[in-house]
């Protein structure tokens, strides 16, 4: 089982706002470790979307934003577009495992 | 521009070993760590281990400890991941990724290789 838990899927109509949650524990997100997010289009390598919980790399649209509270983090996509259909993964550090851990992944569908 | 280019697909028999390469360009391998992540079909990403940018120190996931070895050749700008005692459950796409250090979060992975499919079959 994943150390970081995400909903298997979320969906929304074009233009809508969707959020993806990433629930951890006191040994990872709750310990104060930042969260990073990746987008994976079908058949391709993951792409960095958000780093340090809230920061967007150059070239990532500002429609994507991240936040964190307690033992959970969230990725929000506003103005949903068909090109956003992909799998999304959160990632953090876990002090009990002394490892880097990924979330279970969320498939975003644009209706 | 930064690129990580991996070696091609591999087919191995159970019990064998596989060694995947990852050639970096557009930056110096001595300035960034390299991490290895795998993804079984339809499954989540799974972190395997990393090699430090300055010291060659390695750290591995407990799950793969004893079976995985990560090395690098800085003169060739290439990193390697070798996985031994392969079993059918090791069938996955293996990715290398550049590790960028971020305070209070360790590394995040800002550039990824294209992936290498490893199939284990008798």
**Residue A100: which of B104, B106, B111 has the nearest Cβ?**
B106
Residue B103 is predicted with a pLDDT of 77
In the three-class reduction of DSSP (H, G, I as helix; E, B as strand; rest coil), residue A1 is classed as coil
Across the interface, whether the CB atoms of B100 and A101 are under 8 A apart is answered no
Contact status of B7 with chain A (Cβ, < 8 Å): no
A interface with B, Cβ–Cβ < 8 A, is: 2, 32-36, 38, 45-48, 51-53, 57, 89, 91-93, 97-105
Cβ of B105 and A93 within 8 Å? yes
Confidence of residue A2 (pLDDT cuts 50, 70, 90): low
> Tokens 């951890």 label which residue?
A24
Cβ–Cβ below 8 Å for A36 and B105: yes
End-to-end CA distance of chain A: 29
Mean pLDDT across chain A: 94
Q: What's the mean pLDDT in A79-97?
A: 93
Give the alpha-carbon dihedral of A105, A109, B3, B5, to 10 degrees.
70
Overall average pLDDT of the B34-62 stretch: 93
Residue A18 to chain B, least CA–CA distance (Å): 21
Of chain B, the percentage scoring pLDDT greater than 90 comes to 87
- pLDDT the model gives residue B53: 87
| Mean pLDDT of the B86-95 span | 97
Kindly tell me if the per-residue pLDDT of A30 is higher than 70: yes
Query: In the prediction, which pLDDT does B102 show?
Result: 84
Q: For A96, name the nearest residue in chain B, comparing CA atoms only.
A: B62
| pLDDT at residue number B68 | 97
Strands (DSSP E) found in chain A: 9-12, 18-23, 36-40, 47-50, 64-69, 72-77, 86-94, 99-102, 106-110
Q: Report whether pLDDT(A31) > 80.
A: yes
> B102, A2: Cβ pair inside 8 Å?
no
Interface check for B107 against chain A (CB to CB < 8 A): the answer is yes
Confidence of residue A49 (pLDDT cuts 50, 70, 90): very high
Q: Is the pLDDT of residue A42 over 80?
A: yes
Looking at the complex, report in whole angstroms how far the Cα of residue A55 sits from the nearest Cα belonging to chain B.
11
* Contact at CB, A89 and B106, closer than 8 angstroms: no
Chain B residue with Cα closest to A36: B108
Band (B104; pLDDT cuts 50, 70, 90): low
- A17 — pLDDT class (breaks 50, 70, 90): very high
Q: Say if residues A46 and A35 touch (Cβ distance below 8 Å).
A: no
Q: With CB atoms and an 8 Å threshold, state whether B47 touches A102.
A: yes
Q: Could you tell me which of A47, A19, A3 has the C-alpha nearest to residue A108?
A: A19
What mean pLDDT is predicted for residues A82-94? 95
CB contact under 8 A, A45 and B61: no
């Amino acid at each position: 089982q994943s150390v970081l838990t995400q909903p298997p899927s979320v969906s929304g109509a074009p233009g809508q706002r969707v959020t993806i949650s990433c629930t951890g524990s006191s040994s990872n997100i709750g310990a104060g470790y930042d969260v990073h997010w990746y987008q994976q289009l079908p058949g391709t390598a993951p792409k960095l979307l958000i780093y340090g919980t809230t920061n967007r790399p150059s070239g990532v649209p500002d429609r994507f934003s991240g936040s964190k509270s307690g033992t959970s983090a969230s990725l929000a996509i506003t103005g949903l577009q068909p090109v956003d259909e992909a799998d999304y993964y959160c990632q953090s550090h876990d002090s009990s495992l002394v490892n880097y851990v990924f979330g279970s992944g969320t498939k975003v569908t644009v209706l | 521009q930064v690129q990580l280019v991996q070696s091609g697909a591999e087919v191995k028999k159970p019990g064998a070993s596989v060694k995947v390469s990852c050639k970096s360009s557009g930056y110096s391998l001595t300035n960034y760590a390299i991490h290895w992540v795998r993804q079984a079909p339809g499954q989540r990403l799974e972190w395997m281990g990393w090699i430090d940018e300055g010291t060659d120190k390695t750290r591995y996931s407990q799950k793969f400890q004893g079976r995985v070895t990560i090395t690098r050749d800085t003169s060739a700008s290439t990193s390697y991941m070798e996985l031994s005692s392969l079993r059918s459950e090791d069938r996955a796409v293996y990715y290398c990724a550049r590790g960028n250090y971020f305070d209070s979060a360790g590394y995040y992975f800002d550039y990824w290789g294209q992936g290498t499919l490893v199939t284990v079959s008798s």
